[in-house]
Amino acid sequence: MKFESNNFLIEYDEKDELLINEITKNLESISKPILNFFEIKKLSKKLNIIIYHDLQDFINFRTKNGKYPQRYKSWNVASAEMGNVHILSLELYKQADNHHNCDFNDYLKTITHEFVHVCHEEILLNKNIMPALIMEGIATQLAKQPYYINHIDCTAEELTKNFYQIKNCYRYAHTIMGYMLKNKSHNEILKILREPHKVDVDSLIKETNNFLKETEPVQIKEK
Ligand SMILES: [Zn+2]
């Protein structure tokens, strides 16, 4: 089945009918502020969301047709590629590794996260270079996913070369971007987001850790 509005096209299964209402309502409310953040008037093409009810179809897409097959992990629940968002159905999402405690609100945040990736890709100056650290940092921040951590405990090389292999990679990306959002102007942030490969990750880790030392430790709420 298909749902289509001015800005979105969602391909889904009959079973998702009740969810589609909530998903579109959420998209309508989050899309404007996120587009504004990236200073995008309108996406170059309508956002297409494909909801998968067959895990194997999703894995095939990620490993065979996807842009980043090497990034596929058993905890992957969604991806954004070429302006399209691919996501597991809510049922499969909750069965994926690391997602057993997730609820519908987390599912909506994941869709927001992927929407941020789509917007980010639009402003990238070189579409072939998208460092995971900055990409996941801005997506988790704008989607308000609670991935804060009190200390960045890995090297710049690990974050640059083996991002998805690192335990806590999303927490590191989220916290480093959180530091940047608090300490850099919007123009500086946009400049970084347009050319994220130019960032000096080593200095960023040091700056973030210094900043974290001076701020109150925040308790991470685990569900
Ligand atoms: Zn992501």
- Please say if the pLDDT value at position 117 is more than 60: yes
Distance 140 CA to ligand 1 centre (A): 7
Q: Specify whether the CB–CB gap between 111 and 25 falls below 8 A.
A: no
State the Cα angle at 200 between 194 and 202, rounded to 5°: 145
Residues 137 and 115 in one domain: no
For the segment 152-176, what is each residue's pLDDT rounded down to a tens digit?
999 999 999 999 889 999 999 999 9
Residues 92 and 150 in one domain: no
Q: Specify whether the CB–CB gap between 123 and 194 falls below 8 A.
A: yes
Q: Which of 96, 123, 150 is the last residue of a domain?
A: 123
Residue 91's nearest CA partner among 56, 55, 115 is 55
Residues 95 and 191 in one domain: no
Range of the domain at 215: 127-223
Distance 136 CA to ligand 1 centre (A): 5
Please give the structure tokens belonging to residue 109: 């945040």
Q: How many domains does the chain have?
A: 2
- Encoded amino acid at 169, one letter: C
Residues 47 and 59 in one domain: yes
- Name 78's Cβ contacts closer than 8 Å, sequence gap at least 6: 85, 86, 87, 88, 93, 110, 111, 113, 114
Give the domain CATH number at 81: 3.40.30
Q: Which of 123, 147, 166 is the last residue of a domain?
A: 123
Distance 115 CA to ligand 1 centre (A): 9
Residues 119 and 172 in one domain: no
Distance 34 CA to ligand 1 centre (A): 15
- Please say if the pLDDT value at position 220 is more than 60: no
Residues 6 and 116 in one domain: yes
Which has more confidence, 73 or 122?
122
DSSP-derived secondary structure letter, 84: E
Residues 159 and 52 in one domain: no
Distance 97 CA to ligand 1 centre (A): 16
Going by pLDDT thresholds of 50, 70 and 90, the confidence category of residue 219 is low
Residues 11 and 109 in one domain: yes
Going by pLDDT thresholds of 50, 70 and 90, the confidence category of residue 217 is low
Element at 49 (helix H, strand E) = strand 47-52
Distance 54 CA to ligand 1 centre (A): 21
For the segment 16-30, what is each residue's pLDDT rounded down to a tens digit?
888 888 899 999 899
Q: Which of 123, 153, 170 is the last residue of a domain?
A: 123
Output the pLDDT for position 159.
95
